[in-house]
Amino acid sequence: MTTPDENTPLIAQQSESSQETMSSSTTSTYWRVGALYGAAGVCLGAFGAHGLKQRISDPAKIASWGTAAQYQILHSIALLVARDNPLAAGLFTAGMSMFSGSIYALVLDPARFKFLGPVTPLGGLCLIGGWLALAFGKAPSVAAGELRL
């Protein structure tokens, strides 16, 4: 056992392989979330185009449902691309959940989910933040093979 001295860090440092494993795990998680949100978006879009019309006759609500599904699918793809940028990926995940999720709930039962009304624009801000995090974050290098799907 070694005794601590002025060269010993007070906080244990993670090894590079530990950081790579954590990064790889986070990347893998965001990849799965993006793929699952994409699949759910397609299912919800199909439900909106076919099954929802049997429950709801208001064309504006059906259009809102379609918008939520489109945003969910689009940002699922963005999440797949942004999986190596934790800030952008987190913002896309939160944004899709809040933006699309609140619209789905409000279309299905506006009285019950009225409290979610203010959540929709917050979700939109998260989506915008995700794009800005991509714009101002470290860009992957094509030459170094960092850009991959």
pLDDT tens across 98-118, in order? 999 999 999 999 999 999 999
Q: What is the pTM of this model?
A: 0.80
Rounded to an integer, the average pLDDT of 33-59 is 95
- Say what the pLDDT of residue 53 is: 87
pLDDT of 15 > 70? The answer is no
Q: Which two tokens stand for residue 103?
A: 């619209």
pLDDT of 56 > 60? The answer is yes
- Say what the pLDDT of residue 18 is: 44
What is the residue type of 105? A
pLDDT tens across 119-132, in order? 999 999 999 999 99
pLDDT of 70 > 70? The answer is yes
- Say what the pLDDT of residue 20 is: 54
